[in-house]
A = this chain, B = another copy of it.
């Protein structure tokens, strides 16, 4: 029996129309580095998004499903592109400007982008790659920057402002199927080729509603959100879409992401909320310590991307900025969990522990833990397994494999369609997620899992240890066993027996069967380009006999 409700699709054009009309006086403020910031009302964004869509269609020939890329900072024009491109039926492809050039080339070609909208300040990054980007027919340049580097480009070059000028300020947005592709974001892919996640109008609309629910970010039109997380990073965690649903003002830092200008824009523009990865906050904290400013407006800080160290959370608490942890990934749109403590813990000594978890799943995100043998594990706060998730804003595949069909690698998607997150952790009975490791770094020893991160943290709490990385190495009897690689502090004389005893002591309480037998002193732990331990280098060095290993 079918319902008698209207069959109205969930479309991004609806969010734009609503935000630019009902919340027309809300503002997108873009930092300019000097003088007054640039201000544009939501009503203005709505008109200019319509103009941009007309220009893309009539002047550049963009039609349904064409991919239009952006290589941009967080600013008002990027917000216009966010709404115009999907609303007209095309697909927004946000390019990560931090990627190595060869990955950028690979991604643009894989997505077959027809147009790129680029900030003038980023032309030095784009120009040298143009020869390798044959699908690109149009380059639309916005904002300051030397255009001469584009001389000789085979693609047509347009000025953003000239292109949209004098076009109609309304657009008859098409009534699309809500499952139509709206935007794409590639995972940076530490192994193998980058993989594209294709969000739908439906997934973005539902995700926007979730962001605005009380137990997610919980903002209203009285708030201003400082969006430090880049718009090319999982749609800036959904903030541009979500804020147009509720009239939350946006404060966009453009290219001014250093601690000093961030502190300056907080003092000057008085945002109530901010969103960024922990490293940004670490820098801001140092800046504020060195040069105190009035940042009292900022009462809520959403931190995701990686875990927030407890010390940082406490330091921000003391500044009156309440940190709220969230977990997600490109494949989860990204909102997977938000760490709002449950009612019974609020105001108690348990509250901080809840805030340090990755957070609680909302109704639309189903979660399960899969153990080393593929078994389902209980939500008991102790059983650690790989996190798998399911829901209307969770990816079920990647864009175009070699045969142009959706790509569903078995290590990323279960047979029944759930996303394998690659994260290992526990879930408490009341649905709070605590991540302990990446699945690829966990040590699978005799059908049980040993967390490499737990061993590393324990080792690094020893006064003689500067750094420690633990990786899995093959073992005839147990399958895998942990290898501990240690960087000792200068002048330290600690030996492996001492460190192993320390792990087993009351200070660390590591179970006996988890204690490493294999140990190696290294000069430094190898790091990836973003500063994370590069464990695949350590595993390779071990396999090649390039490490001096002691067996206890």
Contacts and interface: CB of A to CB of B under 8 A. Distances in A.
Interface of A: 1-8, 10, 14-15, 17-19, 21-26, 64-65, 91, 179-182, 196-200, 202-203, 206, 209-210, 212-215, 218-222, 244-247, 340, 342-344, 346, 360-364, 366, 379, 390-399, 406, 417, 419, 429-431
A363 B14 contact: yes
Specify how many copies of this chain sit in the oligomer.
2
Given A6-B392, A213-B214, 16 more contacts: A3-B179, A3-B180, A3-B182, A3-B203, A4-B395, A4-B398, A5-B179, A8-B394, A14-B366, A22-B431, A24-B430, A213-B213, A213-B246, A215-B220, A247-B342, A247-B343
B3 A417 contact: no
28 contacts: A1-B64, A1-B65, A3-B181, A3-B182, A3-B199, A4-B196, A4-B399, A5-B202, A5-B394, A5-B396, A6-B391, A6-B392, A10-B364, A14-B366, A21-B379, A22-B361, A22-B430, A23-B430, A25-B344, A25-B430, A26-B343, A206-B209, A209-B209, A212-B213, A212-B214, A212-B215, A213-B214, A222-B346
A48 B209 CA distance: 30
A4 B343 contact: no
Given A24-B430, A213-B209, A198 B4 contact: yes
A18 B394 contact: no
Main secondary structure of the interface of A (DSSP, over half): loop
A363 B204 CA distance: 13
B417 A6 contact: yes
A419 B8 CA distance: 12
A180 B2 contact: yes
A14 B362 CA distance: 11
A396 B6 contact: yes
Contacts of A360: 22
Contacts of A64: 1
Given A6-B392, A198-B5, A363-B15, A218 B210 contact: no
B209 A246 contact: no
Contact of A4 (B361, B364, B396, B429): B396
A87 B2 CA distance: 15
Given A4-B395, A209-B210, A398-B4, A429 B24 contact: yes
Contacts of A219: 214
Contacts of A399: 4
A21 B378 CA distance: 12
Contacts of A340: 220
B221 A342 contact: yes
Contacts of A1: 64-65, 91, 180-181, 198
A218 B222 contact: no
Contacts of A202: 3, 5
A18 B363 contact: yes
Nearest to A394: B6
Contacts of A17: 366
